[in-house]
Amino acid sequence: MGKSIAINAGSSTLKFKLFEMPSEKLLSMGAIERIGLGSSDVEIKYGDGEKYKDNLDIKDHDEAIKLLLDKLISLKIINDFHEITGVGHRVVAGGEFFTDSVVVDDENLKKIESLKEFAPLHEPANVLGIKAFKKILPDAISIAVFDTSFHTSLPEVNYMYSLPYEYYEKYKARKYGAHGTSYRYVSQRAADMLGKPLEDLKLVILHLGAGASIDAVKDGKSFDTSMGFSPVAGITMATRSGDVDPSVLQYVMEKDGIDNMDDMIDILNHKSGLIGISGVSADMREVEEAQTENHRAHLARDIFMNRVVRYIGSYVAEMGGIDALVFTAGIGENSITLRQEVTDKLSYFGIKVDPEKNDIRGVERDLSAEGSTVKTLLIPTDEELMIVRDIERLRK
Ligand code: AMP
């Protein structure tokens, strides 16, 4: 029996989940945050609710990974590095090239590095993580699992922007989407729960976390998705704007003296969405708590709901129907009121949720009321489990 680790490396973070395989038993999970920023937070959960926490000066990803592996040994989660026989890395951008997860050899690593223009903040961090693990665990299989792969099935009509065609031809400027690993996991679970082949189902999956997107799954494949060339597009998110008219950006930049697009993109990614509208919080719990007293918090939640409902409607229209609506990720799994209110607005589609069944958080369940012609499912996502399953699949 080996152990596999799923890694999500950001520019200053390293999150992980360690599984025993093939039993898929979760052995440990945690994160190292603020790497290279002077005082890094380390948190490792393991055993029966045990937790290790520390604050250290960790200068780079190499040091973070070495520390993580040492801690896994000293906390007796593993006995030796070499028990870890598989490392799976979440990689944000796979472009048109990576239609599935791959084993990272030299050629694939070069290709991943060449895609950094598609995710300038994330891809270099993903590459750092891959290289650092390869150095410390050279004998373990190393795989890359792309957020975008699941969406390489989008039909041309859904991935093309209505821009001069040459921008696609010359620069591959198109919609790529994100959260693909989550959609892959959740869509398969939905088919299992409904007892039907995925290929026969029309699903709308709502991945509503801090980053949020919506996916239409048809014929077992991603058919349309709300994120675009980058994750800033689509619905309102914690700190991201979702869809906006580009002309308003030009207008605001001129008025506010913002003289470069990078700064504006930063505002769209980090200062917009729930935090931008409400001024209260990027966290939906706090926005929900504030909404009775605070108009802007109320508005932020209303706009969030409106964009969710708008996308569901357009995806049902595009697919010509819907068999099931699926809620996942932090808000989708935990906001009972939001699930109820979204589905109440969709009753004309034949969607009806049973309030008693809906009175639950973070547990896989069919929430549909008696007589509902469209099912509503709650399915907690598990991207890391999907990643370690990919390791097993690609080992063969
Ligand atoms: P994720 O990115 O999937 O981890 O989701 C994180 C988000 O889930 C948080 O920022 C919260 O806004 C949201 N969330 C978690 N618990 C709740 C809850 N009980 N009610 C509403 N939103 C929640």
Residue 275 lies in a domain: yes
Ligand 1 close to Cβ of residue 337 (< 6 A): no
Q: How many CB atoms lie within 10 A of CB 224?
A: 23
Which phi and psi angles does 11 have, rounded to 5°?
A: -65, -35
In this prediction, residue 106 carries a pLDDT of: 95
What pLDDT does 126 receive?
Answer: 92
Kindly state the percentage of the chain with pLDDT values over 70: 100
**How high is the pLDDT of residue 376?**
98
Whether the pLDDT of residue 121 is over 90: the answer is no
Overall residue count recorded for the chain in this entry: 396
Write out pLDDT tens, residues 47-91: 999 999 999 999 999 999 999 999 999 999 999 988 999 999 999
Q: Is residue 164, in this structure, part of any structural domain at all? A: no
Atom of ligand 1 nearest to the CA of 338: 21
The preferred substitution site among 15, 283, 341 for testing ligand 1, maximizing ligand atoms within 8 Å of CB, is 283
User: Which of 82, 117, 146 is where one domain is finished?
Assistant: 146
Q: Which amino acid is at 280?
A: V
Predicted confidence at residue 120, as pLDDT, reads 84
Tell me what pLDDT residue 223 has: 98
Distance 334 CA to ligand 1 centre (A): 7
Contact 242, 307 (CB under 8 A): yes
362 and 229 share one domain: yes
Q: Residues forming the annotated binding site for substrate?
A: 90
331 lines ligand 1 (CB under 6 A): yes
Ligand 1 pocket: which of 280, 334, 342, 379 to mutate (most atoms within 8 A of CB): 334
Contacts of 163 (CB under 8 A, 6+ apart): 173
Question: Is it the case that residue 314 has pLDDT exceeding 80?
Answer: yes
Categorize the per-residue pLDDT at 1 as very low, low, confident or very high, splitting at 50, 70 and 90.
confident
- Give the CATH number for residue 35: 3.30.420.40
Average pLDDT over residues 344-349: 95
133 and 234 together in one domain: no
In a domain, 379, yes or no: yes
Determine contact, residues 36/12, Cβ cutoff 8 Å. Answer: yes
Three-state SS annotation for the chain: CEEEEEEEECCCCEEEEEEEECCCEEEEEEEEECCCCCCEEEEEEECCCEEEEEEECCCCHHHHHHHHHHHHHHCCCCCCHHHEEEEEEEECCCCCCCCCCEECCHHHHHHHHHCHHHCCCCHHHHHHHHHHHHHHCCCCEEEEEECCHHHHHCCHHHHCCCCCHHHHHHHCCCCCCCCHHHHHHHHHHHHHHHCCCHHHCEEEEEEECCCEEEEEEECCEEEEECCCCCCCCCCCCCCCCCCCCHHHHHHHHHHHCCCCHHHHHHHHHHCCHHHHHHCCCCCHHHHHHHCCCCHHHHHHHHHHHHHHHHHHHHHHHHHCCCCEEEEEHHHHHHCHHHHHHHHHCCHHHCECECHHHHCCCCCCEECECCCCCEEEEECCCCHHHHHHHHHHHHHC
> Same domain for 10 and 112?
yes
Q: Quick one: pLDDT at residue 281?
A: 96
Instruction: Determine whether the shortest distance from the Cβ of 31 to ligand 1 is under 6 A.
Output: no
Atom of ligand 1 nearest to the CA of 361: 19
Residue 87: name the closest of 360, 332, 390 by CA. Answer: 390
Looking at the structure, tell me whether residues 128 and 238 fall in a common domain.
no
Ligand 1 atom nearest to 211, measured from its CA: 2
In a domain, 181, yes or no: no
* Closest residue CA from atom 8 of ligand 1: 330
pLDDT of residue 38: 85
Answer yes or no: do 282 and 141 share one domain: no
Instruction: State if residue 210 touches ligand 1 by the CB under 6 angstroms criterion.
Output: yes
How many domains in the chain? 2
- Tens-place pLDDT, residues 12-43: 899 999 999 999 999 999 999 999 988 999 99
Last residue of a domain, one of 110, 128, 146: 146
Q: Residue 392: name the closest of 149, 103, 129 by CA.
A: 103
Give me the active site residues, please.
147
Assess whether the C-beta atom of 280 lies below 6 angstroms from ligand 1. Answer: no
pLDDT band at 334 (very low <50, low <70, confident <90, very high): very high
Structure tokens given for 44: 């490792």
The pLDDT tens digits for 132-144 are 999 999 999 999 9
Which pLDDT score is estimated for 187? 98
Give pairs for 77-80: CB < 8 Å, separation 24+. 77/18, 77/27, 77/28, 77/44, 77/46, 77/47, 78/3, 78/18, 78/27
Q: Rounded to whole angstroms, how far apart are CA atoms 238 and 244?
A: 15
Same domain for 142 and 247 = no
Beta carbon of 283 within 6 Å of any ligand 1 atom: yes
Q: Which domain holds residue 236?
A: 196-383
Residue 122: predicted pLDDT: 87
Inside any domain, residue 389: no
- Interval 231-264: pLDDT, tens: 999 999 999 999 999 999 999 999 999 999 999 9
Integer Cα distance of 29 and 5 in angstroms: 9
Give the pLDDT score at 11: 83
Q: Using CA positions, which residue lies closest to atom 20 of ligand 1? A: 335
Q: Could you count the other beta carbons within 10 Å of the beta carbon of residue 135? A: 11
**Amino acid occupying residue 273:** G
Q: Is residue 109 part of a domain?
A: yes
Checking if the pLDDT of 350 tops 90, the result is: yes
Is the C-beta atom of 330 inside 6 A of ligand 1? yes
Whether residue 200 is found in the same domain as residue 89:
no
User: Does ligand 1 come within 6 angstroms of the Cβ of 335?
Assistant: yes
Looking at the structure, tell me whether residues 210 and 142 fall in a common domain.
Answer: no
pLDDT for res 110: 96
Distance from Cα 286 to the centre of ligand 1, integer Å: 10
User: Is residue 342's pLDDT more than 80?
Assistant: yes
CA of 362 to the centre of ligand 1 (A): 11
Q: What is the pLDDT of residue 75?
A: 96
What distance in angstroms lies between residue 208's CA and the mean position of ligand 1's atoms? 8
Shared-domain flag, residues 132 and 204: no
pLDDT of residue 368: 98
Segment 173-180 mean pLDDT: 97
In-domain check, residue 348: yes
Q: How far is the CA of 184 from the centre of ligand 1 (A)?
A: 21
| Annotated binding-site positions for ATP | 15, 207-211, 283-285, 330-334
Looking at the structure, do residues 12 and 120 belong to the same domain, yes or no?
Answer: yes
Can you tell me which atom of ligand 1 is nearest the CA of 336? 20
pLDDT band at 10 (very low <50, low <70, confident <90, very high): confident
Average pLDDT, rounded, for the chain = 96
Q: Give yes or no: residues 142 and 291 share one domain.
A: no
Whole-prediction pTM value? Answer: 0.96
Looking at 146, 163, 186, the residue that finishes a domain is: 146
